[in-house]
Each structure stands twice: as C-alpha cells, then as structure tokens.
Amino acid sequence: MLGPGIPFYLGVASALFAIGLTGVLLRRNPLIMLLSVELMLNGTNLALIAFARQHASLTGQVFALAVIAIAASEVVVGLGLVVAMARKKIDLDIDVLSRLRR
C-alpha cells in the first residue's frame, strides 16, 4: 500500500473520536451535540474502512455503509426533536432540558 500505514489512519480516527466525545461532553446546544456525535461516528467509520483495507475484507466497508445509514436515521429523529423543542419555544440548552423532566 502506498502512503502511510494503517496505524496513521487509526490515529486520525482516534482523534476524531476523542474530539467528538469532548464535544458531546462540553457543549450544551443539542444541535452541536448531534454534530459531535456525527464526528464520533465518522471516526469509527474511518477505522472500519482502514481495517477493511488491512484484511482485504469487504465486511468492514459494508459495516461502514450500515453506520452511515443508521447515522442518517438517528439524525432524522434527533432533528425532529430539536424542531419540536424550538416550536415550543424551549431554550436549546441540554441542561435546561434535563431539568424539564421534573
């Protein structure tokens, strides 16, 4: 294989994952939290593709496609919730939403 070896790709994937995780933990806007979750998913995807290349097995790519599909579905539902919250004029703040449960 030309270019950097698998470990490098995995390093980038780890970085994406960690950055996404930090975003989920630190940001309060649900939209940005969703974006961070997407980041994490993408990091995972990259790792999957890298491994698929390493083992010359298409299973990894199939899994990555599945992840993309699932991510899309999850975004649909999440955004639907955000829109519902916006309609009810609720603050888009995850901490406020957590307290709303009570």
Partner 1 sequence: MIAVGAWICLLSPLVAALAIALGANRFSRKATGYLATGSTAISFIAAILALGATLDRPESERSTVTTAFVWLGTHVGSIDLALLVDPLSLVMMLVVSGVGSLIIAYSIGYMDGEEEERRYFAYMAIFVFSMLLLVESANFLLLLAGWGLVGLSSYLLIGFWHERPSAVAAAKKAFIVNAIGDAAMMLSLFALLQHTGTLDFAAVFAQAEGLGKHPALINIVALGLLAGALAKSAQIPLHTWLPDAMEGPTPVSALIHAATMVTAGVYLIVRAHPLFEQAPYVQDAAAGLGAATLLGAGLIALVQTDIKRVIAYSTMSQIGYMFLAAGIGAYGAAIFHLMTHAFFKALLFLGAGIVIHALGGEQDMRKMGGLRKRLPRTFACMLVGTGALVGLPPLSGFFSKDVILAEVFSSGTYGKVLFAAGISGVFLTALYSFRLLFLVFSGEESEPARKRLTKHAGAEGPGWMTRPVAVLALLAIGGGWLEIAGLWHPFSTFLDQVAPPLVGAPSSAREWLLSAGSLGIALGGVWVAWTIYSARTQPAPRAPKALVEKLYFDRAYDLIFYRPAVALSALLRTLVERPVIESSEREIEAQTLTAGRLVTLTQSGLTRSYALAVAAGVSVIVIFFLALR
Partner 2 sequence: MSAGNLLVWVIWVATAIICVGSALAVVIFRNPLFSALALIGNLVSLAVFYLLLSAEFVAAAQVLVYAGAVMVMFLFVIAYVGWETDVAWSGGPSWQTLGGITAGAAILAELLVVIALKAGGQLSQVQDVGQAFGSPRSIGRVFVSNHLLAFEVISIVLLVAAVGGVVLGVQKRRAEQERST
Binding site for partner 1 (CB under 8 A): 21, 24-25, 28, 94-95, 97-99, 101-102
DSSP type of residue 4:
S
Q: Is there binding between residue 89 and partner 2 (CB under 8 A)?
A: no
Question: What is the footprint of partner 2 within residues 60-79 (CB under 8 A)?
Answer: 61-66, 68-77, 79
Q: Is there binding between residue 90 and partner 2 (CB under 8 A)?
A: no
Q: Is there binding between residue 16 and partner 2 (CB under 8 A)?
A: yes
Nearer Cβ to partner 1 (88/99)? 99
Task: Please state, in angstroms and as integers, the Cα–Cα distance from residue 1 to each residue in 5, 22, 35, 56, following that order.
Answer: 8, 33, 32, 12
Q: Is there binding between residue 31 and partner 2 (CB under 8 A)?
A: yes
Nearer Cβ to partner 1 (52/82)? 82
